[in-house]
Amino acid sequence: MTKEANKIKLIIFDMDGVLYDLDLNKRLNLMAKCTGISQAEINDKIWHSEFELKAEQGLYRTGSDYLEEFNKILGTHLTSDSWLEIRASAMSPINEMLKLCRQLHNHYKIALLTNNGMLVEEGIKQQKITPRLKDIFGTDIFASAELHSRKPDAEVYVSLCHKMNVNPNQALMIDDKLENIIGAQKAGLKGYCYQNSKNFITYLQSQNIIC
């Protein structure tokens, strides 16, 4: 296979822990205040349960479907705007990485891949949370739910590359979880386990990736 055939054409970014910091305790605290349900109960019934795992795998096809089941489990009546506002309030941008995304987009295709349900994807695309991501990535924003599998399963990376019309060996996955990088590599992608923007820039330079 030629060197050109292996040249990076697509760079895929995780969201939480790479482009935005997510304060899980703050999210739980805000959710508890909004619903009157304890943080422990919310965590157990939602984020430490099969519900969220199945949501990330695409069981709930729309944000409305996700929210309906979320409310059913907790016995609440949260609106999508309230849910998304809580999510957004617990996030803070990693500005250096967002700037790098813009720069890399001048030379490469870029996409966002996050293990989340459809409500998060819709919220990003509607600019109700992380409005800067829509500006940077356009429509190339994917929650795992849309692709019907989640990181680190190989299928999710292959499906995204197919949507972006790029061979897996021409794609690079940036994620803060090592297991997700290993999954990407098993699917044929290159991978980089993110720690901070300084180290990431050093890595790009070592790979002759223009930014």
Per-residue pLDDT of the chain in tens (211 residues, 90 and over written 9): 445 556 999 999 999 999 999 999 999 999 999 999 999 999 999 999 999 999 999 999 999 999 999 999 999 999 999 999 999 999 999 999 999 999 999 999 999 999 999 999 999 999 999 999 999 999 999 999 999 999 999 999 999 999 999 999 999 999 999 999 999 999 999 999 999 999 999 999 999 998 7
Of the candidates 37, 200, 202, 175, the one whose C-alpha atom is nearest the C-alpha of residue 111 is 175
Nearby residues of 62 by Cβ (< 8 Å), 6 or more positions away: 118, 122
Check residue 2 and give its pLDDT: 44
User: Taking the complete model, does pTM exceed 0.85, yes or no?
Assistant: yes
d(CA 109, CA 75): 42
| Residue carrying the six token digits 């309906």 | 68
Of the candidates 114, 158, 117, the one whose C-alpha atom is nearest the C-alpha of residue 137 is 114
> Is the peptide bond preceding residue 131 cis, with omega within 30 degrees of 0?
no
Structure tokens at 69: 């089941």
d(CA 35, CA 135): 32
Cβ-contact 89, 30 below 8 angstroms? yes
Check residue 211 and give its pLDDT: 79
d(CA 181, CA 107): 23
